[in-house]
Chain A
Amino acid sequence: MEGKKVFQVFHTNTDQILDLNQFSDEDFSSASADEKKSMVQMHKSVSYWQDAWRRFRGNPVSMGGLIVFLIILLFSFVGPLFVEYSYEDQYRSAQKLAPMQYSEMEQNVMTLLASGVDGVYATSLKSGSLTAIKKGSWYITSGGKTYAFTLEKTVEKATLVLDADADVPVYIGKDKDFENGAFTEITPVETTDTPAGDAQELELSTKVFPHVFGTDSQGRDLMARCMYGSRVSIIIGVVAALIVLIIGALYGAISGFAGGRVDFVMMRIVDLIYSIPDVLIVLLLQVVLKAPLQNWFDTSKFPLVKALSTLGVGIVSIFITFALLYWVGMARIIRGQVLQLKEQEYVTAATVLGASSSRIIRRHLLPNCVGQLIIQTCLQIPSAIFLESFLSYLGLGVSAPMASLGSLCSDAKETFLLFPYRLLFPAVLLSLIVLSLNLVGDGLRDALDPRLKS
């Protein structure tokens, strides 16, 4: 287009061409920084990770998955800081509550708080050793003031109320005496400004926390349990995936790098493990490992074993199962990669320079498989979570008082027809975790290994 125009101009009006030769001084001033910049053709170099992140970001589905997963991570790891209930405590007055429902006692306390009192300590809303205010000296601090008092005997099934504006600032009402928004009978408590030497502080609640997901038959808060359960499930998934990563990557790399007869034998072993129907063996393993593991945990004195024993037998045997049976997929993929990579010049160069086999595998081959390693590990996590929930659902995985999403579903199955939400919450969480991780894994595959993009 442009050329054609010039051509026409040239023929019709030659004077304009001559004008082109008339320059002003401005035309010879040096270029400004901006003008120079616009002439530079070089782009900033983009690293592998930046490139991958750019591609990943451009994939809305995977980004959505990542965001959902991050939200679940926040929910399960940071959420417990904001929920007053713990996963194992059984709250006496709060059994079988529907989502967002309050127990009768909690409603009483709410009425009290709404009527303008400054704080309450309701013993029936506490768990374990907190279910009573023991006899002895106590003090409360509220609004810059201190209220110290001494109890002659332990108080149970009662609510201690602090109402700074009232004539009697601190009083105790029996829970059963609560009618029409007030206690019919109250016991005033004499207070002083200065606490006794051995007085303990009593923390008052100023609000009642809702049971967002409801509670179970034992009065445990379901949201706290769901948070804890998804934490356990995610940790199981990540650790199992890491176990698979380490064993599979090393096995595959060694097999591929060694080649020849070693490779053949190692791969036949993989084929054999691959063809074993895993779930049948996994079920057996869960039962078999229980007693010896328990025995080992009880007798061993190594700190590492002690740490493992806090996880419980069920979880550790899931890890062992993964270490025994599930690394073969990873091993196959890494072997395939290594077979290609070991023909590269830099491997020859490393060999010539006298690098040992283990160094070549560690420093040259595995780092170059990093894309595959990340993709496979990421996809392994949801499958581990899946297997764990399956085992727990059959009653073989995590055992009480610990909880995983699978065991929460399993607990809920008996009473499912009466309390469907007890199954719904952990089930939805479980599905969301697996779904989001699968989506992230798919996105990672497209981002880290564009050749495979379908």
Chain B
Amino acid sequence: MDMIAYVLKRIGVSIMTLLLVAAITFFLMNAIPGSPFMTEKSTPEQIALANAKYGLDKPLIVQFGNYIKNYLHGDMGVSLKMQEGTSVSKILFSQGKFTLSIKLGLLALLVAVLIGVPVGVLQAYYRGGWLDNFLRVLTTLGIAMPSFVVATLMLFGFAVSMKILPVQSNSLTTPAAYVMPVITLALSPFCRIAKLTRTSMLDSISQDYIRTARAKGLKTKIILFKHALRNSLIPVITYLGPLTAGIITGALVVEQIFHIPGLGDYFVSSILNRDYPVIMGTTMLLAALIIFMNLIVDIAYKIVDPRINIIKKGN
């Protein structure tokens, strides 16, 4: 019963947050001075006409209300500039942008988790050894390198010098095109996950139940993977929320560098082009992804670790 109440509460908060993001984005966007229809040639009359056509002449509150109302009906408006007249939902979903970004993001997420956790376990297992030290330096470096640096270095190394990978990934048609964008996106989360796993593994290893398991005469491998790992994965699960946000942020840069026509790339240019409905649509979609991931993580957290009493207020 507690669980259902908690889930409902979390869903409520998530919807509130999304609404807040919508409001912030909407009012910020409209605070950009000038009009999206302003070009060198346009006259004030033309701008006024265009404003009236898209309903931009109404008070902001009314515009926002209309937007939310239409959004709930699945209508995200039409693009004002970048693809004039095309509906935003079509731009986001039917032109392959969303699929492209999701494919890339999920792959990076998988790589980060599937390699990060074993590496962290390995480090904890060989704690203090040369492998642990080497990997620790590597993961610390990985966190300190901005993704655009990683991307350009790889471009130079693999694509230009060695010519084994394509310079532009474009629509990710070949498997080789995936390699560099995915590595770039996954590197920093991978390092963080490895560090996190190492720390929490070491933490669990010093617990009493591990000593008990040892006293029972279990094999080290079984203790490590069956007893210690399960509990050390909890911090990793909580990290999945920020991780999603990080991957989306990374995608903004990575898609630009590798010329991938995905959502991240489109989002940046929509802001620079001041195409209001596209900005709104993209922000809402990306924000919804992040918020949804946080929701899932919070619920999974509760299921995985019953010790955590989420109903209790405060810390």
Contacts and interface: CB of A to CB of B under 8 A. Distances in A.
A390 interface: yes
B20 interface: yes
A276 B291 CA distance: 8
A434 interface: yes
Contacts of B141: 431, 435
B149 to A, nearest CB: 4
Interface string A111-128: 000000000000000000
Contacts of A281: 21, 24-25, 28
B268 A283 contact: yes
Given A287-B272, A336-B315, A427-B146, A277 B287 contact: yes
Contact of A431 (B24, B145, B203, B272): B145
Given A276-B20, A279-B252, A284 B294 contact: no
Contacts of B272: 287, 395
Given A283-B268, A291-B33, 14 more contacts: A275-B291, A275-B294, A276-B20, A280-B283, A281-B25, A284-B29, A287-B32, A292-B31, A390-B249, A393-B146, A406-B146, A409-B146, A417-B156, A434-B145
A429 B190 CA distance: 23
B29 A288 contact: yes
Interface centre among A271, A272, A287, A382 (most CB of B within 10 A): A287
B286 A272 contact: no
Q: What 8 A-B pairs come out closest when comparing CB atoms?
A: A435-B144, A427-B149, A434-B144, A279-B249, A291-B33, A277-B290, A275-B17, A431-B145
Interface in A405-454: 406, 409, 413, 416-417, 420, 423, 427, 430-432, 434-435, 438-439, 454
A284 B28 contact: yes
Interface in A277-335: 277-281, 283-285, 287-288, 291-292
A416 B152 contact: yes
A262 interface: no
A275 B13 CA distance: 10
B16 interface: yes
B238 interface: no
Max count, chain A CB within 10 A of own CB: residue among B34, B140, B203, B286: B140
Nearest to A394: B268
B28 A285 contact: yes
A389 interface: yes
A430 B156 CA distance: 18
A438 B253 contact: no
14 contacts: A275-B291, A276-B287, A279-B248, A284-B25, A291-B33, A389-B146, A389-B148, A416-B155, A416-B156, A420-B156, A423-B152, A430-B146, A435-B140, A454-B199
Contacts of B32: 287-288, 291
A390 B145 CA distance: 11
Given A288-B29, A390-B253, A427 B271 contact: no
B245 interface: yes
Nearest to B24: A281
B143 interface: yes
Contacts of A275: 13-14, 17, 291, 294
A267 B283 CA distance: 25
B202 interface: yes
B248 to A, nearest CB: 7
A264 interface: yes
B45 to A, nearest CB: 23
A264 B271 contact: no
> Interface size class for chain B?
35 or more
B256 interface: yes
A393 B199 contact: no
Contacts of A138: none
Given A277-B21, A283-B271, A434-B144, A409 B149 contact: yes
A431 B146 contact: yes
Contact of A413 (B31, B148, B245, B249): B148
A393 B248 contact: no
A378 to B, nearest CB: 14
Contacts of B53: none
Contacts of B144: 382, 431-432, 434-435, 438
A423 B160 CA distance: 15
A428 to B, nearest CB: 8
A382 B141 CA distance: 13
B172 interface: no
A193 to B, nearest CB: 58
Contacts of A382: 144
A427 B152 contact: yes
B287 A280 contact: yes
Nearest to B143: A438
Contact of B140 (A287, A423, A439): A439
B25 A277 contact: no
A358 B162 CA distance: 64
Interface string B26-49: 001101111000000000000000
A416 B167 CA distance: 12
A162 to B, nearest CB: 45
Nearest to B283: A280
Nearest to B272: A287
Contacts of B294: 275
Given A394-B253, A427-B152, A272 B145 contact: no
A272 B149 contact: no
Contacts of B245: 277-279
Interface string B137-168: 00011011110110011011000100000000
B279 interface: yes
Nearest to A279: B249
A277 B28 contact: no
Contacts of A280: 21, 25, 267, 283, 286-287
B17 A454 contact: no
Interface in A332-346: 336, 339
A287 B156 contact: no
B313 interface: yes
A288 B31 CA distance: 6
A431 B153 CA distance: 13
Contact of B313 (A264, A291, A394): A264
